[in-house]
């Protein structure tokens, strides 16, 4: 079983990649998309999205990170891919799944699923532009309005030189609404010879087991489910080994990781983003941990960085105590 950590703009960035890979169980990460819009991006842009490039293309826990590009012009994408490749990522992934209107309006992301021939040209241009040893993969949805071109799009990615295809089993029109249509993945697997990874609505061990059974995929990509339950990958590995429940991550084990997350947020993000990022993570973890619900309710109105730091430091010794104001 191969477990990948998904790219999620505005949520699963390098900060959360760092923390979640420390919890363990993940084989590889994919960065949020780096948007290519007609110019050759400077190295600092690639490094902003994928600072792991300064660490041999790996998180501090040693998990490789594949950098993702999003764009629609083959020449410009190829030039940027070559520049990115020189910085030493684990590989390059191409985004054909983003449902954002601003991206689709300019012909990127999921919009390209309406034109398989353009997908093939774009993948081939990137494949030619980077060293032969460097993996080039792709992530797709089932389609734009519907799944009628799913097989053609997957074949186009393979024909262009993609070595792996992640399938988010929903269309652009579906957005992130459940369910994910895992039952459509076997046809895609049958249509291509490269590995296919299943993605979408995997929140629990039971979800993952059903996804594997329905899709036929041994490789899964975890997104919001891993953010909500940072121990999900470890639990999946325990279940796969026939030892369910033996590697469940308890709330107490997550508290040091929560503090590490806050330190990284305060060090690397703008002040206006910091409190919101912590609340965003706690909000998702409410699905899995009752303690996260209590923590979220107490921190949701807080904005002062020093006060939040003191509150977090108190969590291990009390069950979500009332916020403490910083000393004058």
Tokens standing for residue 102? 């601003």
- Where does the chain have alpha helices with state H? 14-23, 43-49, 74-85, 101-104, 116-129, 150-160, 185-191, 205-215, 224-228, 232-240, 251-268, 271-285, 290-299, 305-314
Catalytic residue flag (residue 211): no
- The interaxial angle of helices 271-285 and 290-299, nearest 10 deg, is 150
**Could you give the CA distance from residue 176 to residue 211 in angstroms, rounded to a whole number?**
16
Contact 99, 124 (CB under 8 A): no
Joined together, the tokens standing for residue 105 give: 């309006």
* Intervals of CATH 1.20.225.30 along the chain: 251-317
**pLDDT per position as a tens digit, 195-237:** 999 999 999 999 999 999 999 999 999 999 999 999 999 999 9
* String of DSSP letters for 281-299: HHHHHTTT-HHHHHHHHHH
- Residue 111: both structure tokens together: 């919009």
Identify the CATH assignment for 251-317 out of 3.40.50.720, 3.40.50.1820, 1.10.357.10, 1.20.225.30.
1.20.225.30
**Angle between helix 271-285 and 305-314 (nearest 10):** 30
Enter the pTM of the model.
0.93
Tokens 């169980």 correspond to 25
Q: How many Å apart are CA 176 and CA 201, to the nearest integer?
A: 9
Can you give the pLDDT of all 328 residues of the chain as single tens digits? 999 999 898 899 999 999 999 999 999 999 999 999 989 999 999 999 999 999 999 999 999 999 999 999 999 999 999 999 999 999 999 999 988 887 887 788 999 999 999 999 999 999 999 999 999 999 999 999 999 999 999 999 999 999 999 999 999 999 999 999 999 999 999 999 999 999 999 999 999 999 999 999 999 999 999 999 999 999 999 999 999 887 889 999 999 999 999 999 999 999 999 999 999 999 999 999 999 999 999 999 999 999 999 999 998 644 444 444 444 3
List 29, 98, 153, 211, catalytic entry: 98
Q: DSSP string spanning 244-265?
A: TTTTPPPHHHHHHHHHHHHHHH
Angle, to 10 degrees, between the axis of helix 116-129 and the axis of helix 150-160? Answer: 20
Phi, psi of 289 (to 5 degrees): -120, 120
The whole-angstrom separation of Cα 112 and Cα 188 is 17
Q: Where in the chain is the domain with CATH 3.20.20.70?
A: 2-240
pLDDT tens by residue, 94-131? 999 988 887 887 788 999 999 999 999 999 999 999 99
Q: Which CATH number describes the domain made up of 2-240?
A: 3.20.20.70
């Amino acid at each position: 079983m191969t477990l990948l950590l998904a790219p999620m703009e505005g949520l699963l960035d390098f900060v959360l990649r760092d923390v979640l890979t420390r919890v363990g169980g993940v084989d590889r990460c994919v960065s949020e998309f780096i948007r290519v819009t007609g110019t050759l991006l400077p190295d600092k842009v690639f490094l902003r999205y994928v600072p792991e490039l300064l660490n041999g293309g790996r998180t501090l826990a040693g998990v490789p990170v594949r950098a993702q590009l999003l764009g629609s012009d083959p020449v410009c994408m190829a030039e940027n891919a070559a520049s990115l490749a020189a910085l030493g990522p684990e590989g390059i992934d191409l985004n054909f799944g983003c449902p954002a209107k601003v991206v689709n309006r300019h012909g990127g992301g999921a919009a390209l699923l309406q034109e398989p021939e353009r997908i093939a040209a774009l993948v081939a241009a990137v494949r030619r532009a980077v060293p032969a040893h460097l993996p080039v993969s792709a992530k797709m949805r089932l389609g734009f309005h519907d799944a009628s071109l799913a097989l053609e799009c997957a074949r186009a990615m393979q024909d262009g030189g993609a070595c792996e295809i992640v399938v988010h089993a929903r269309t652009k029109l579906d957005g992130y609404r459940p369910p994910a249509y895992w039952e459509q993945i076997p046809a895609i697997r049958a249509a291509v010879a490269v590995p296919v990874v299943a993605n979408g609505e995997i929140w629990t061990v039971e979800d993952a087991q059903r996804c594997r059974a329905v899709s036929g995929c041994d490789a899964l990509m975890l997104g919001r489910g891993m953010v909500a339950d940072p121990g999900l990958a470890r639990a999946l590995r325990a279940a796969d080994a026939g030892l369910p429940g033996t590697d469940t991550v308890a709330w107490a084990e997550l508290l040091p990781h929560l503090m590490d997350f806050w330190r990284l947020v305060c060090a690397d993000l703008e002040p206006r983003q910091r409190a919101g990022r912590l609340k965003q993570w706690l909000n998702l973890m409410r699905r899995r941990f009752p303690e996260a619900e209590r923590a979220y309710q107490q921190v949701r109105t807080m904005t002062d960085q020093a006060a939040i730091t003191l509150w977090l430091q108190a969590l291990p010794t009390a069950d979500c105590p009332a916020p403490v104001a910083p000393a004058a």
